[in-house]
Amino acid sequence: MAVVSTPATLEHAVPVMDNAEVLRIRNDFPVLNQLVNGQPLVYLDSGATSQNPLSVIEAEQEFYEQRNAAVHRGAHHLAVEATEVFEDARQTIADFIGADYAETIWTSNATEGLNLLSYALSNAGLWAAQGRGDQALRGLALKPGDEIVVTEMEHHANLIPWQELAFRTGATLRYIPIGDDGSLRMEQAESIIGPRTKVLAFTHASNVLGIINPVQELTALGHAAGALVVLDACQSAPHLPLDVKELDVDFAVFSGHKMLAPTGIGVLYGRQELLDILPPFLTGGSMITTVTMERAEYLPAPQRFEAGTQRISQAVALAAAANYLTETGLDRIHRWEAELGQRMVAGLEGIPGIRVLGPAAGRERIGLAAFDVEGVHAHDVGQFLDSRGIAVRVGHHCAQPLHRRLGLTATTRASAYLYNTTDDVDRFLEAVAGVRAYFRA
């Protein structure tokens, strides 16, 4: 689905999740069944790292118990089996995001995927300067006078690689500002994105504001200008249906650890025709066709960008996570999380001295809420909540420019997932209501 449905439009489209079903789902997550500081754990930090269901844990364990071997390199039985499950996992993830098999690149995380892409674009300029590659590759090379456009709400992972690409190539970095409510100033986007724009990179859903950005509108502006469009899907791939072909983006990244999978695994999607002409980022074994002492020739994607020993067990576990989400139903997950998000925001807005970032209650958002408590530092808020068994995120959430724009240095963020109940949210709200009195703010 390219267009994200609101809770109202989903009401008659999919079966409704409820607390009873969520409590059954929680049984799949061993880590959630524990006490923290004498209280049942309420885990509201899935926007940073989600927990793992048994099926994902067992998938990785089973690989090590039954199939552990290097992929693509051996003719023996274990190597063949390892290669099969590794590449089957790639197909599972390709299907999960609506991509083709060869358009799905394994990375360590989304940050690596974005750095891979920015350095590949740097290398396009180096290759072009040395006469390597064809006219299509030379068209990807950035130079002084070109522009890279991001937004003011970006996570550092989707900002710093583009800052550095601009530094290496002499291009100019520009950004689309936000309004006071956190939404993008789309009227300014239309004037900022123009003939000089070579790359347009933006987040699908903000990890601080909870806003879901107008992907297709931004993509249309980028493509009309002839730019490459890069989507940060870290906060969308785990939570709502994602089809990269319908969204029409050129590249997209997301991380496994935010969608029920282990750390150390992520995905870069790219259009096949672009991946096959981009120079590689990492070089070495497993990504070449011919090597002499003077030069090398490289395989097409995906192997072109997967030098060295790969994240085999993690890829297998990521596929298991994608299957878990698909079987549960991403439409249903999105609707449930939207309900939890609205409950959080409405409750926070009713507590004196609380400022909630992003859309007000009643407006669409993903299931997270970042907020400031007047007179109390975010770290103190987080420790207060932890003393009551409630896990949240504190700090600037790798989005310093966004916080600076909103006049803050740090916030507290609660982020829900498919294993959270309305009781979790209510316990969180009850605890937050006691913060200012506890600190005599």
Strand-pair partners of 127: none
Parallel, antiparallel, or unpaired for β 228-232 and 266-270?
A: unpaired
Active site residues: 398
In the chain, the largest separation of any two C-alpha atoms, in whole Å, equals 71
Amino acid letter, residue 205: A
